[in-house]
Amino acid sequence: MSITLVAVVLALVLGHVAPALVASFRQYGWYTAWLHWLGESGGDAWRGRYGIALALAPIVLLVALLQWMLDGPVYGLVGLLFDIAVLVYAWGPRDLDVDVEAIIDAHDAPTRRAAIARLGLTGETAALDGPALVEAVFANALQRWFGVLFWFLLLGPVGAILYRLAARSASAPDLPEQNSRGARALKTALDWPVAQLMTLAMALVGNFDTVFSTWREAGGARFRPDTGFLAQVARASVRGELAEEAEEYAEEGMVQAMRELPELRDAMSLVWRILLLWLAVLAVFVIGGWVS
């Protein structure tokens, strides 16, 4: 777990200090070429619902072998460096907070639309749709940060690379129909426990009653592979926090300064608080391990 803390901090710091270097490191053209080759020679097995396993299994097994082999040499230092490298590679591939800041700092409509498109939103009304921006921030937080972090914590480098490649497979445009459905189902299955833990953390760092009631109404309490509840909980939580902030200003007799894109700012603030809570819990486990 101490490795996870170090690796996450490095991933965040490097994304801000050396974004060009990190961007050049996080290249997945080799995986796209691998999918293309399988599409040409994979046959009926590739076109089936579980065909994506043909793409993922060799890579995951290779990473598992390296993880096992590098764990011992030089008192585990080589393994530590490998773990950090894999997590930094799987993180992102773009830093969410940088993309959100680019939206907030954009001073004209075309620049803002281009920045919003990096979150997966397109269209003329996207820049004015606060709830859609909140959903996009949390969907990207799940895929860029928390999904990788959770599976790295659970399985090590194998989990991080599995999640990242599964996410890329789920959005790959050229997969056969059944294969693509299987890839999306795998991605949803990997996302579900992460979304549940993000919701729990949101309840702890935000309004617990609002989060809990929305989570139940959105079907989060049902054991099924669906993460739609996260978007609804995020919207309700942000809406509640903005309402509470406005009420506090009114009670103090102050006029609230109108910020641009308040939902976007509050959503990113909430994501940061969730990440800090996750890291704080990890730190407690690390300290507990040292003490014992």
pLDDT, position 257: 46
Under 8 Å CB-to-CB from 288, ≥6 apart: which residues? none
Dump pLDDT digits (tens) for 149-162: 999 999 999 999 99
C-alpha gyration radius of the chain: 20
Provide the residue ranges of all domains of the chain, joining segments of one domain with +: 2-291
Sign of the alpha-carbon torsion through 61, 63, 67, 69: positive
Under 8 Å CB-to-CB from 11, ≥6 apart: which residues? 87, 88, 91, 92
Find the mean pLDDT for residues 41-48: 85
Dump pLDDT digits (tens) for 67-122: 888 876 665 688 888 888 999 899 988 889 889 998 888 888 888 888 888 888 87
pLDDT bracket for residue 186 (50, 70, 90): very high
Q: Are 158 and 67 in contact (CB under 8 A)?
A: yes
Burial degree of 44 (CB within 10 A; 0-12, 13-18, 19+)? exposed
Dump pLDDT digits (tens) for 190-236: 999 999 999 999 999 999 999 999 999 999 988 888 899 999 999 99
Enter the pTM of the model: 0.90
| Mean pLDDT of the chain, nearest integer | 86
**Terminal-residue alpha carbon distance, the chain:** 15
The values of phi and psi at residue 8, to 5°, are -65, -45
